[in-house]
Chain A
């Protein structure tokens, strides 16, 4: 049986086990009238039986799927003729690749060497036997476990408690997956970045002002010196983010104030969803909006004013990114403003404060920590935003504070370093991981600070 068919069988077996367990628990107390004598509901006995029947079997299948390939290959290669086992590592890798291709059916056995064909045949045979064994083992385990649990069912058995412990364990496993994934990502980035820092010193990377990641492949190549000073990228990222925040913070905040404090119900009901539509626009669409519309428009206006605006200016990318972030800022600020208790507004009105005095001096003051937290989250989004800058910002790593010039950002460089066929051992590609690490640390710090600020604020009023 193939593993996928086996999975289906195990599930079906568990369903049967559920009904067996449930029926047994009812039968043991003499029918549905006696249910009150049971410690738990009949369903709990059924679930307990099903879980014991299914879970260990699933675990065995999972383990086998995870380790079968490595195990079988090791077995096969230990039977190989000595001349092949003596091959250097690279050639041996090629041989194993051929074997795999034959097993997968990509290569007819007739086209490869007899040793390869023999190894593939042995692999397939071993796998057939192993699968048979697995099927037998899993089915036997399921049936035995179900029968054992069925035999142990009696009115005192605390089935509900056991089921709840098992389910709690499953829930814990699910949350563990998310955490472990995060840890895994961090570790892989840190590991690759440390390889990069083995080639390029940390100081040079963090404080160098020249970025030119093209490495010379041949000794006579020119213009490919391989300089990894990331300061121009950080500066470009900050410049574009700053432009974005200059757009997004006032517009987002003021629209939130209008919607939360001034707008009549009807306007609010119409405008708020429309504003949130902005958040649903894919960033690619913003990207070509920046390239096709905003960039050329800025260039034309710049010419009219006698300014030299680059076609892919930081201003264009920043403006469009700012528009993208507006709904983010405004909906967070709106939440914070509406969370300010009405009693504070009443207090100010009762002292004779006007509406604008109340908003400026009381409502915004009370909502300020939350709004600051929201802005920090928005900044971390701006820094991590990729698609708009890939399309609208340039690739030239200029170190400049002039938003009319082209700059490049950390995310753009990561994309360009990794796009296409790459080998993951040159400093050029490894640099992407170092940049990713910096980006990750920066946004992590911003998010932690923002969440801290927001939480402190919440404690005050709830």
Chain B
């Protein structure tokens, strides 16, 4: 029950002979197209526990390159938890346990040989509340390149900083005050600064955990435009409570409910023709 006629040709069957997509286990209940063409992440049978409590149950999904995956669902449904699995941020939470397979580009991110520091350099993350470091705007962006030794000299670092700020659409607003503290910016500017900081490390994936929930509509629109541009280069996973936002920025949408992935598929299809009853109820506003 995992693929559908209406799904685009990109979504192959579960048994697709794609080296990067892991084989699909038996008996999954997710509706829609779990797999996608050219997957970057491939997750199979993922369970997450916080102590005794199971936050995610038997989750299977592929995440494609150069596309935006929106995750929606009521609070506490596990979408943020899943996002934090992808760069192993759950490691920092005492009592959190992740089981199952999560492969990035064909390699298990829980493999002993996989260093978490390198993983996080490849998988960037933007948080719900803007969290600039207590440093200057310049140093905020330069921080990642510095710790990973990405810049050979000062000129190269300057270059990375200005490029990242340009791509985050912040350059024109801050180019004359790079030495001012990052906390002096407005909320929307701070969030774009955090995105610039993430881009500066040159990741392959950017995870966004409700990046606009602390912003006003104008700042939100700017971030959404930015997400659309970034899609040209990165895979983006965004958790959002706004269904309009999911519809605007994403190509695929995943609906979570009580720790289970209920339905995943083309964004247009999910919002116009949801197949699972729970998805339909949530989208039409019957609960959530």
| B133 contacts A348, C-beta separation under 8 Å | yes
Partner of A347, one of B121, B131, B201: B131
Contact B133 A357 (CB under 8 A): no
- A346 touching B131, Cβ below 8 Å: yes
Q: Which of A25-33, A107-115, A246-254, A358-366 contacts the other chain?
A: A358-366
A347 partner residues in chain B, CB cutoff 8 A: 127, 131-133, 194, 197
Closest to B146 in A: A361
Residue on A nearest B128 in the bound complex, by CB: A343
- By a beta-carbon cutoff of 8 Å, the part of chain A in contact with chain B is 265, 341, 343-354, 357, 361-362, 365-366, 460
Task: Name, among A347, A350, A362, the residue most crowded by chain B CB atoms within 10 Å (CB to CB).
Answer: A350
For B183, give the chain A residue with the smallest CB separation: A460
* Other-chain residue from B92, B117, B121, B183 in contact with A346 (beta carbon distance below 8 A): B92
Are A351 and B135 in contact, CB atoms less than 8 angstroms apart?
A: no
A347 to B129, CA, bound (A): 10
Distance in Å: Cβ of A340 to nearest Cβ of chain B: 9
Assess A352 versus B121: contact at CB under 8 Å? Given A343-B127, A344-B133: yes
Q: Using A346-B89, A347-B194, A460-B183 as known contacts, say yes or no to A354 and B117 having CB atoms under 8 A apart.
A: yes
Q: How far, in angstroms, from A406 to B135 measured CA to CA in the complex? A: 45
Contacts of B89 in A (CB 8 A): 346, 349-350
Task: For A346, list chain B residues within 8 Å (CB).
Answer: 89, 92, 125, 127, 131
A350 touches B135 (CB 8 A): no
Q: Are B147 and A350 in contact, CB atoms less than 8 angstroms apart?
A: no
Contacts of B134 in A (CB 8 A): 344, 362, 365-366, 460
Among B147-164, those with CB < 8 Å from A are 147-148
A337 to B225, CA, bound (A): 37
Rounded to whole Å, the gap between the CB of B150 and the closest CB of chain A is 11
User: Nearest residue in A to B117 (C-beta to C-beta)?
Assistant: A352
Q: In the complex, which residue of chain A has the Cβ closest to the Cβ of B133? A: A362
Chain B minimum-CB-distance residue to A362: B133
State the Cβ distance, A293 to closest chain B Cβ, in Å: 41
CB–CB A353/B127 < 8 A: no
Q: Select from chain A the residue with minimum beta-carbon distance to B144.
A: A351
How many B residues, CB 8 Å from partner? 27
Are A351 and B131 touching (Cβ within 8 A)? no
- Contacting B133 at CB < 8 Å: which of A265, A352, A365? A365
Contacts of B101 in A (CB 8 A): none
For residue A264, give the distance in angstroms from its CB to the closest CB of chain B.
9
CA distance A353 to B89 in the complex (A): 12
25 A-B pairs in the complex with CB atoms less than 8 angstroms apart = A265-B94, A343-B129, A344-B133, A344-B134, A346-B92, A346-B127, A346-B131, A347-B127, A347-B197, A349-B92, A350-B124, A351-B201, A352-B117, A352-B118, A352-B119, A352-B148, A352-B201, A353-B143, A361-B147, A362-B133, A362-B134, A365-B133, A365-B134, A460-B134, A460-B183
- CB of B120 within 8 A of chain A? yes
In the complex, residue of chain B having the shortest beta-carbon distance to the beta carbon of A368: B134
CB of B87 within 8 Å of the partner chain: yes
Is A351's CB under 8 angstroms from B183's CB? Answer: no
B198 at the interface (CB under 8 A from A): yes
Query: How far does the alpha carbon of A422 sit from the alpha carbon of B201 in the complex, in Å?
Result: 73
A351 and B118 form a contact (CB under 8 A): no
Flag if B120 contacts A352 (CB, 8 Å).
yes
Known: A346-B89, A352-B121. A365 touches B198 (CB 8 A): no
Which residues of B sit under 8 angstroms from A348, Cβ to Cβ?
Answer: 133, 143
Q: Using A357-B147, A365-B133 as known contacts, say yes or no to A351 and B127 having CB atoms under 8 A apart.
A: no
Q: Bound state CA distance, A2 and B214, in angstroms?
A: 70
Contact B129 A351 (CB under 8 A): no
Whether the pair A365, B201 counts as a contact (CB closer than 8 A) is: no
Contacts of A350 in B (CB 8 A): 87, 89, 120, 124-125, 127, 198
Nearest chain B residue, comparing its CB with the CB of A341:
B131
When distances are taken between beta carbons in the complex, the residues of chain A under 8 Å from B120 are 349-352
Q: Which residues of A contact B127 (CB under 8 A)?
A: 343, 346-347, 350
Which residue of chain A has the shortest Cβ distance to B91 in the bound complex?
Answer: A349
Which residues on the A side are within 8 Å of B94 (C-beta)?
265
11 more A-B residue pairs beyond the given contacts A346-B125, A366-B134, with a C-beta to C-beta distance below 8 A: A344-B131, A346-B89, A348-B133, A350-B120, A351-B120, A352-B144, A352-B148, A361-B147, A362-B133, A365-B135, A460-B183
A438 to B120, CA, bound (A): 55
Bound complex: CA A352 to CA B124 (Å): 8
Task: Please indicate which of the listed interface residues A349, A352, A353 has the most CB atoms of chain B within 10 Å of its own CB.
Answer: A352
Taken residue by residue from 74 to 104, chain B's Cβ proximity to chain A (1 for < 8 Å, 0 otherwise) reads as 0000000000000101001010000000000
Q: How far is the CA of A343 from the CA of B198 in the complex (A)?
A: 15
Residues of chain A within 8 A (CB-CB) of B132 are 347
Distance (whole angstroms) from the CB of A445 to the closest CB of chain B: 27
A344 surroundings in chain B (CB, below 8 A): 131, 133-134
Q: Cβ of A349: which chain B residues have Cβ within 8 Å of it?
A: 89, 92, 120
A351 to B133, CA, bound (A): 12
